[in-house]
Structure 1
């Protein structure tokens, strides 16, 4: 089925090195997260030139293309155009990654599928706290009981959900992952813990544990694994190793039932005897470390976490903190990490408001308005990558203000009690179920408002619109800029090009040519700022500031360089008329590809006047675009 993002999908596929270079693809709220077999084949600069792409980030072993709120539809279009199945897109290329990148990738892959449900369940729990505090519902009401089942389902049965997602991530049968999760919350095992212990191990130490049953006369250190995170992940990882061996030694005729039997028979006892207790102690240790840092100096702790949170987001490190947050909620009953970051999305919103009020740059204003609506719902990537980070000073302001907000929140005793919504929907998460709902939320609001005021005022004083100085600088060199035709051929209106991204003007205004000679020359004096490895596309920045993209043919990246010969390399200075690329028109056409060549001015929004040639045919060096 055709999608309005098909054109963008083709551009993305071409510029990440083609579908054969994609090892895996997934997405979060705003980003396409690629794992590329060879990132050097990707053309980052070419991708950044698309107005539909906010930014490109290479971090944590991932090639991240920031899209915005419609990232899900774009991801589907990319999968469709690249002929990738979702299962195929999850193949890993981890041998090329460092250990830190692999850990972040693993954690992200396990938790991303359940984040939406976590937020939804958390919002329901927050709503129930509000309704009971207001006297609308009582905990004994049937309505409350049914709605609380929605709010508690994922938290109580968390090992079941993580058993499934971890199994997908570790490449084993999802059914086995589900089985491990359900066994860990098996009611009979939990009920045993309500009786008298048979004995006590490690008495008097931090590891003191009651023994309620034995397995083959070996004491089992039972724990309540509902709501836990680390034990089931380690258990499924261990199962992935056992299942691999089982598949090798068990005959094909009985594999369907003996592989899961052998796997569970080995993994489950080991989980309850070894993995579970160690993981529980580890979980408790992490919670104690976070609590220790908080108690050491809560204000400095809040300033540090709040100030650096957005930097964590940029590098994808924030995904690795989610298990710690969930662990804190399960073991301590509240979390301080998310509490210290409460101001971060709102400082971005405050900065966007200040920029919207001050800027005269229409593109920046439009981008800021769009990012504002995402920001109030806690999705700050469009604001960070599209506005504040490129402006640099505003991003620093946001970090400083968020740090101050985090410090104030810790000083006021703000805590995060349940997973829930983001942005304006996050306030129920700060309601103390055992205290005053109004007071706990009020402290959070005070912290946020102070941080927002600081960010807004600082931006009003520091932000300066760069549009006027840039245009003035361009026009000092010449009252108008003339762009010569890079090739001989027939003129084609850009809107007639058989590619939505080019035809719609998404990448900028321009014109197209059907070449009659296989030579591309420099249309202006400047520097080759980007050159696709296959030689089918090139970017040039003129000495007067104009930015030009020339793309020979449609989908010609699939030729993998065949029929193209580059005469320059990225970084070369060129003069108008210099030969850039030679290409074989007949060979390209015979291979089934169009040679229609868009010539795009990617910063065309900076020019008040944009005039195109009226000629139907042009020769190399004929003026085809005049900017003023």
Structure 2
């Protein structure tokens, strides 16, 4: 599937463009803020080729794409009117999230857009330090001056970068925000910080701090700026609003930042750095083991963003950070685990995914590895956490340090050069190799090939037609309802009608009795009773969805007869519903019967009859 097709599919399955408040992306994920998350079809998205998985947390609907996320995001921007979606809208779906969820959302929104620049500059800074220590370059040369400026500018002017992203998040004027950040690192102010003369503003003493590379002061300032601008926009006439609102924002926020927000933010940064250092110094070995074991768990829940300001504060105030080298052990353990899966699995599809995920994980991108392989298989993820704990403990015990920020992984090695570097190398090798061995020796449940039929015995629901050249298998599904038949494309629901969820057919029920079309297992029973998922004994994954938008009935008129995990036979009663009452409530009762894993089969053929009875032939899945 091309990036253009994938972007259209994603927008359709999140509920359409009108359901999106905002969207931005990080290293591997599209992060949506939806107006109504119930309109998004999470199950269909997870089965869409090109989508690794879907995660909902911190008020965000996150579609994990992998390394290709940037290109997919660009296509979404081209195909929709969401060009300014990073700024969001006034209707924020995270309003119901808890404090932690809101905090994580704010941090991720502010730091995600600049993470690539920070990581790239960090690696360059580490390489430059390594080259300088080896004597390959003269620190007084013009070459070093330019390369140092290239690697250090992102960090020195970090308040400016954060001003832009914070302004987008808080819906403030970006250029005013940049002006505030510029004032914090204005050359005369930086010079005054090193001076001995006390300064004051209107008689109020100024606590001068060097705000270059700082994080929290500018975020606090832009947050306050957003409220200042909002108030002045409400009281100033529109004829002069564009001039006076920025003027008053600069006049009020910049002095307040120097007098209050800046010193307070600096104290918070110093406090975070000192607090982390105190905890780390209690036992570097234990700190390394805990961070190495649980970092990828934090990534799964999205709370890892909360550690980014601490890392940056450590580098800004202490000149180094001890957390980043430890986290590389967690990353390399996932890389080792997925490589172990690659070596051991006999499933060709899983092998291909594991092989590509290994390379991405080695370079610090672990989401494809976690969601696509290790977490799905469960045991490899646990083995990786154990290996990460041991590797992290080794690195922590050695007192390793990062001299600049970068994404944890193999590319970040130059940033760890110096104190404890040899311990980093040992810890990463141990984490990687141990994870491979644990996965390979202890094993995991290797999924069978999806193209291979799970049974070799003939059953009533499966016909096998032999020819001289090949063996074609087909699974026959009978109708779960009695009623008129129509093509899927005629259903007034774009997600189903487009075929995005799979191939199938629509039945307009003449009665409210729904039976099983196959022998299999009930995999999903929606709480509202309006939809049921079944996996047949032959592997076909079916979704039967009674009506359109009937989820809004909240279970009214539906009577579930089965539960998730129930084993059913063809013809067993699954559900009863009141057809006439549903129609009287204004809902369409046309019921799609979908083979959601249609992509795993050669084709899905449907009956040509205009009407069927329960138990009549309905679909054929060509295996």
Shorter chain as denominator, the TM-score bin is 0.7 to 0.9
Deviation string 1:169-212 (CA, Å, 9 cap, x unpaired) is 11110011001100000111121233324xxxxxxxxxxxxxx2
Q: Map 1:452-467; keep pairs closer than 5 Å.
A: 452-467=432-447
Superposed CA RMSD: 4.0
Q: TM-score, normalised by structure 2?
A: 0.82
Tell whether 2:129 aligns with 1:143: no
1:137 to partner: Cα distance: 1.6
Matched, 1:309 2:295: yes
Q: Does 1:35 align with 2:16?
A: no
- 1:66 aligned to 57, 64, 67, which one? 64
129-138 or 516-525: bigger deviation? 516-525
Decide whether aligned partners of structure 1 residues 566 and 8 sit closer, same or farther in structure 2, where only a CA change above 3 A counts: farther
Q: Is the alpha carbon distance of 1:142 and 1:610 closer, same or farther for their aligned partners in structure 2, counting shifts above 3 Å?
A: closer
* Aligned residue number for residue 617 of structure 2: 622
Give 1:42-81 correspondences, 5 Å limit. 42-79=40-77
2:517 to 512, 520, 523: 523
Assess, with a 3 A threshold, how the Cα gap between structure 1 residues 173 and 485 changes in structure 2: closer, same or farther.
same
**Deviation string, structure 1 residues 429-455 (Cα, Å, up to 9, x no partner):** 1023xx6xxxx5433111100111211
SS in 2 for 1:467: coil
Question: Conserved in 2, the CA contact under 8 Å of 1:360 and 1:465?
Answer: no
Measure, in 2, the Cα distance between the counterparts of 1:132 and 1:293. Answer: 33
Which whole-Å CA distance do the structure 1 matches of 2:368 and 2:67 have between them?
9
In the TM superposition, 1:437-586 aligns within 5 A as: 440-467=420-447, 478=459, 480=462, 481-484=475-478, 512=504, 522-525=516-519, 527=522, 529=524, 539-542=533-536, 546-549=540-543, 576=570
Q: CA deviation at 1:39?
A: 2.8
Give the Cα–Cα distance (whole angstroms) in 2 for the partners of residues 464 and 430 of structure 1. Answer: 34
| Structure 1: gaps (5+ residues) | 198-211, 588-594
Compared with structure 1, are the counterparts of its residues 492 and 463 closer, same or farther at alpha carbon in structure 2 (3 Å cutoff)? Answer: farther
CA contact (8 A) 1:521 1:581 kept: no
Q: Distance in 2 between matches of 1:500 and 1:94?
A: 25
Q: Structure 1 residue 405: deviation in Å?
A: 0.8
Aligned residue in 2 for 1:227: 213
Distance 1:459 1:23, change over 3 A: same
Q: 1:311-357 CA distances to partner (integer Å, 9 max, x unpaired)?
A: 11011111111111000000001111112211122111111221111
Cα deviation for residue 424 of structure 1 reads 2.4
Contact 1:164-1:174 within 8 A present in 2 as well:
yes
> Which residue of structure 2 lines up, in the alignment, with residue 118 of structure 1?
118
Provide the residue aligned with 1:218 in structure 2.
204
SS in 1 for 2:71: helix
**Aligned partners of 1:518 and 1:582 also within 8 Å:** no
* Contact 1:528–1:571 (8 Å) recurs in 2: no
Equivalent of residue 330 in structure 2, options 334, 344, 367? 344
Who is 2:226 aligned against? Answer: 240
- Report the 3-state secondary structure (helix = DSSP H, G, I; strand = E; otherwise coil) of the residue aligned with 1:23: strand
Matches within 5 A, 1:164-563: 164-197=164-197, 212-420=198-406, 422-432=408-418, 440-467=420-447, 478=459, 480=462, 481-484=475-478, 512=504, 522-525=516-519, 527=522, 529=524, 539-542=533-536, 546-549=540-543
Distance 1:552 1:19 in 2: 25
| TM-score normalised to structure 1 length | 0.81
Quick check: 251-260 or 296-305, which moved more? 251-260
Q: Is the contact between residue 534 and residue 561 of structure 1 (CA under 8 Å) also seen in structure 2?
A: no
C-alpha distance in 2 between matches for 1:352 and 1:145: 41
Q: 337-346 or 327-336: which moved more? A: 337-346
Instruction: Name which of structure 1's ranges 58-67 and 107-116 shifts more when overlaid on structure 2.
Output: 58-67
Whole-angstrom distance in 1 between the partners of 2:47 and 2:74: 22
Alignment length (residue pairs): 584
Does the Cα contact within 8 Å between 1:126 and 1:429 map onto a contact in 2? yes
Query: How far is 1:5 from its partner?
Result: 3.7
Distance 1:611 1:580 in 2: 30
Instruction: Say which SS state the counterpart of residue 27 (structure 2) adopts.
Output: coil
- Cα distance between partner residues in 2 of 1:466 and 1:580: 38
Shift of 1:566: 9.2
Give the Cα–Cα distance (whole angstroms) in 2 for the partners of residues 395 and 72 of structure 1. 27
What's 2:467 paired with? Answer: none
The residue that corresponds to 2:100 in the other structure is 100
Instruction: Name the SS of the counterpart of 2:33 in structure 1.
Output: strand
**1:489 Cα deviation from its structure 2 partner:** 8.7
